[in-house]
Amino acid sequence: MKVAVLGAGAIGAYVGAALHRAGADVHLVARGPHLAAMRQHGARVLSPRGDFTARVRATGDPAEIGPVDFVFLGLKATSYAACGPLIAPLLHGTTAVVAAQNGIPWWYFHRHGGPHDGHRVESVDPGGAVSAVLAPERAVGCVVYAATELEGPGVVRHLEGTRFSIGEPDRTRSARCAAFSEAMVAGGLKCPVEPELRGDIWIKLLGNISFNPISALARATMGEMCRHGGTRRVIEIMMTETLAVASALGCEPDISVERRLAGAERVGDHRTSTLQDLERGKPLELDVLLAAVVELADITGVPVPTLRTVHAISDLLASRTAA
């Protein structure tokens, strides 16, 4: 199995290192000091489960790799529409793209069934720009439950979690999902194939849609938001509205707001990825988290006044950050 990791940051390098341990032919695509360090020393993983170094190939030019069986997409969703020149050299007729994306993916309604089958979510696929680069037929969904961070160039700190749930948009148990799952498991990770992956998407989104924008607006950690009574109530309402949208689309996530909040509270004083991006002056990945659900509320007729309010304010923040 030949795999390219496009966007080999903390999560991408962690997955690439695990697949390399499983015997896959892995190529990491990165840039800058991180790329230089991995070229010289390999990808080093520091983990409570044991440290290791993967002497994996790394490059800044995907053309050096050529077509692969799987592309693991570790880029931010904000970079998808512009990644055409990077991903094109990696594709052959049956290359699958495993997209480790938070929020509503561009392929969400691909082979969804029902009244919205084939609908394009403008917030995440504006004008079809993402679908033009990443054909939905290639997509294998992936919900990441692992937490990692780059401790330094070429060094990934694995904090917790090893689960990467994957699934086909059409809910089938495909041979390509089975093959990718087998390689991930052989590398020491959990990779269940979930026919109803959209349920996992909504479960993770419950936290991202609420904690991420609020953390940026309040400059607050997970623990601080949970402990502040008023903010906690706003987050509860946002989660409840989100579950109502999911239900209107025929998806009933197997989790309660109380359980989701309790899980977030256990994380403690962790800074969300959106807060970290804000502090680093990077674009805020809020369209796929918040704008998309507001758009889905529009097509289903579900009232989401609190989501709309937080979206309006955080969208202004995102536009100022991008300026």
Per-residue pLDDT of the chain (323 residues; tens, 9 = 90+): 999 999 999 999 999 999 999 999 999 999 999 999 999 999 999 999 999 999 999 999 999 999 999 999 999 898 999 999 999 999 999 999 999 989 999 999 999 999 999 999 999 999 999 999 999 999 999 999 998 989 999 999 998 899 999 999 999 999 999 999 999 999 999 999 999 999 999 999 999 999 999 999 999 999 999 999 999 999 999 999 999 999 999 999 988 999 989 888 887 888 898 998 999 898 898 999 999 999 999 999 999 999 999 999 999 999 888 76
Q: Looking at 127, 160, 194, which one is the last position of a domain?
A: 194
Same domain, residue pair 140 and 223: no
**What residues contact 62, with CB distance under 8 A and at least 6 apart?**
4, 6, 29, 86, 87, 88, 89, 90
State how far the Cα of 152 lies from the Cα of 5, in Å rounded to an integer. 19
Range of the domain at 26: 2-194
57/104 same-domain check: yes
Do both 127 and 170 map to the same domain? yes
Q: 3-state class of 302 per DSSP?
A: coil
Q: For position 323, what pLDDT does the model report?
A: 62
Looking at the fold, whether 223 and 281 belong to one and the same domain comes out as yes
Classify 128 in phi/psi space as left (phi over 0), alpha (psi -120 to 50) or beta: left
Catalytic residue list contains 204: yes
Domain limit, last residue, from 194, 217, 236: 194
* CATH code, domain with 301: 1.10.1040.10
- Structural domain count, the chain: 2
b/e code 275-290 from CB counts within 10 Å (16+ = b): bebbeeeeebbbbbbb
Options 2, 76, 190, 204, the catalytic residue: 204
- Domain CATH number, residue 173: 3.40.50.720
